[in-house]
Amino acid sequence: MHKVWIEAALNGPWSRARQSGIPDTIDAIIAEGIACAEAGAAIVHTHAYDGGGPQTFDWQVYARIIEGIRARIDVPVYPSIPGLDARGNVADPKARFAHIGALAERGLLEFAVVDPGSVNFTLTATHAESKPAETYLNPETHIRRGLDVARRYGIHPAFAIYEPGFIRAGAALARASGVKTPVYRFMFSQQFAFCFPPRPYGLAALVALMEEEASGAPWMVSGLGVDITPLIPDTIARGGHLRVGLEDALLGSTATNIDLVEDAVRMVRAHGGEPATTAEVRQALAKG
């Protein structure tokens, strides 16, 4: 029976204005991380908030969140990285990954976000008068820095595949860096115009490219502004994994993180898989 990793992405950068149900305080993030892990999530991903304001990349805030969750349940919890600053500038690569290094030094991380390419967050419902979309910039200098940090601390890169070519670039740079095997997260969307909508042809194309470029590496379906449930049967049949949660869900979702994890657990079992435990995820990762 295929053991399916379920990752819970708790909040993202949206703020409550775009995703009203996200946890955006330290206590709320800890509580939802614990509840999602108890419901069947074997990995937790979160952005850090300290009191409902803008997200923060202060490693000490992240440490409180990670330690708070892991005090109750021993599950991998990993942070995000900064994008553009308020003036549209990209952070210095060392500064951008400083919190990753600080958390890894303290033994708190098993994954590090290192996204192998840049993308525009163009909305599918845009029009001529719309404000231009934000760009998520990841110059190669930054990718190499992130991979170097991951290699130095022996943690696995978490690649977000916003476009198919990110698989090729990520695999090439991972080989060059000597880092541990990355986890590839396929970023489907309905509300944003990157990669593919959640349809079988898109999954088939990404899996075929994975087999050529990074055969044997773990991959999962995920995304932003998307409902990935139509892909779950095919994902299980192809040996993939799942990420769910309010970071990824359609903006304006009325579901909760717990609902999304519980639904994923039910669907995994209904289609012949079994949710992996954290121990099983770690055992699989130890092979690479």
The b-or-e profile of 145-179 (16+ CB within 10 A means b, else e) is bbbbbbbebebbbbbbbbbbebbbbbbebbeebeb
Q: What is the pLDDT of residue 87?
A: 60
Give the pLDDT of the chain (288 residues) as one tens digit per residue: 899 999 999 999 998 989 999 999 999 999 999 999 999 999 999 999 998 778 999 999 999 999 999 999 999 999 999 986 656 667 789 999 999 999 999 999 999 999 999 999 999 999 999 999 999 999 999 999 999 999 999 999 999 999 999 999 999 999 999 999 999 999 999 999 999 999 999 999 999 999 999 999 999 999 999 999 999 999 999 999 999 999 999 999 999 999 999 999 999 999 999 999 999 999 999 986
The CATH number covering residue 12 comes to: 3.20.20.70
Q: What is the pLDDT of residue 119?
A: 96
Q: Given CA atoms 42, 151, 55, 192 in this order, what sign does their dihedral have?
A: negative
How far is it, in rounded angstroms, from Cα 29 to Cα 274?
A: 26
Q: What is the pLDDT of residue 133?
A: 92
Domain count, the chain: 1
Q: Of 70, 269, 66, 43, which Cα lies nearest the Cα of 156?
A: 43
Each residue's pLDDT tens digit, 119-163: 999 999 999 999 999 999 999 999 999 999 999 999 999 999 999
Q: What is the pLDDT of residue 88?
A: 60
Q: Where are the beta strands (DSSP E) in the chain?
A: 3-4, 6-9, 43-45, 77-78, 111-113, 119-120, 135-136, 156-161, 183-188, 219-223, 241-244, 274-275
The boundaries of the domain holding residue 74 are 3-285
Do 196 and 232 meet the contact criterion of CB atoms below 8 Å apart?
no
How far is it, in rounded angstroms, from Cα 221 to Cα 228?
A: 7
Q: Which two tokens stand for residue 13?
A: 């950068």
Q: What is the pLDDT of residue 41?
A: 98
Q: Which two tokens stand for residue 248?
A: 């990824």
Do 91 and 57 meet the contact criterion of CB atoms below 8 Å apart?
no
Terminal-residue alpha carbon distance, the chain: 21
